[in-house]
Amino acid sequence: MKPSKPFRVRFLAFAAAALAAFLLFRLMRAPGTLGLLNWNPGYRPIVYAILALGAVPFLLAILYEILRGIPSFRRHRAAGLASMAVSAVCGAASLAAVLFLSLAPNRVPEPLPRPGILDPSKGIPVRSAPEGEPYLRLAFSSDPHWGRAESDAEARASILRTVDAGDYDAFFLLGDISEMGFPEEGFREAATDLERLLTRVPLRPMMGNHDALVNASGRWRKYFFPADHSSDSGSPFYYRIDAGRAHVLVLNLLWGEEDFDHDQRAWLTRQLETIPREDAVVVLSHCYFYASGYDDPETGSPWYDHPGTIREVVPLLEAHGVDLAVSGHNHYQELLERNGVSYAVIGAMGGVPDPAPTYRSPASKWIRTSTFGFLEAAFFRDRIELVFRDSRGAELHRAVVSAE
Ligand SMILES: [Fe+2]
Q: Cα–chain-centroid distance for residue 199? A: 25
pLDDT-based confidence at residue 240 (cuts at 50, 70, 90):
very high
Give first-to-last CA distance, the chain, whole Å. 78
Residue 212 C-alpha to ligand 1 middle, in angstroms? 12
The rounded Å distance from CA 68 to ligand 1 centre is: 56
Question: Across the strands, what pairs with 117?
Answer: 203
pLDDT above 90: residue 164: yes
Q: What pLDDT score was predicted for residue 404?
A: 77
Nearest residue to 365 via CA among 387, 343, 332: 343
Average pLDDT for the chain: 96
Q: Residue ranges per domain, the chain?
A: 5-106, 121-402
Give this prediction's pTM: 0.94
pLDDT at 303 over 80: yes
pLDDT at residue 106 above 90?
no
Is residue 3 scored above 90 in pLDDT?
A: no
Q: What is the whole-number distance in angstroms between the Cα of residue 62 and the centre of ligand 1?
A: 47
The rounded Å distance from CA 350 to ligand 1 centre is 9
Calculate how far, in angstroms, residue 66's C-alpha sits from the geometric centre of ligand 1.
Answer: 53
**Cα 271 to ligand 1 centroid, rounded to whole Å:** 28
Query: What is the tens place of the pLDDT at every residue in 175-229?
Result: 999 999 988 999 999 999 999 999 999 999 999 999 999 899 999 999 999 999 9
Determine the distance separating the centroid of ligand 1 and the alpha carbon of 145, expressed in angstroms: 7
Ligand 1 geometric centre to CA of 140 (Å): 14
- Between the alpha carbon of residue 258 and those of residues 30, 224, 231, 232, 261, the distances in Å are 11, 22, 22, 22, 7
CA distances in angstroms from 96 to 10, 91, 102, 172, listed in the order given? 21, 9, 10, 38
Residue 91 pLDDT greater than 80, yes or no: yes
Q: Which has more pLDDT, 183 or 373? A: 373
- Percentage of the chain beyond pLDDT 70 is 100
d(CA 37, CA 396): 36
* CA 220/CA 226 separation, integer angstroms: 10
Mean pLDDT for the stretch of residues 380-393 = 97
Residue with more model confidence, 404 or 369: 369
Using 50, 70 and 90 to split pLDDT, how confident is the model at 300?
A: confident
Centre a 10 Å sphere on the Cβ of residue 387 and count the other Cβ atoms it contains: 17
- Which pLDDT belongs to residue 235? 98
- Range with lowest mean pLDDT among 249-258, 261-270, 291-300, 311-320: 291-300
Alpha helices (runs of H) in 208-343, residue ranges in sequence order: 217-224, 262-274, 307-312, 314-319
Q: What share of the chain is helix, strand, coil (3-state, %, to 5)?
A: 40, 20, 40
> Three-state SS for 194?
helix
- How remote is the CA of residue 363 from the centroid of ligand 1, in Å? 22
* pLDDT value at 1 more than 80: no
Give me the amino acid identity at 332. Y
According to the model, what pLDDT value does residue 351 have? Answer: 98
CATH 3.60.21.10 corresponds to the domain 121-402: yes
Per-residue pLDDT tens digits for 36-52: 999 999 999 999 999 99
Higher pLDDT pick, 6 / 98: 98
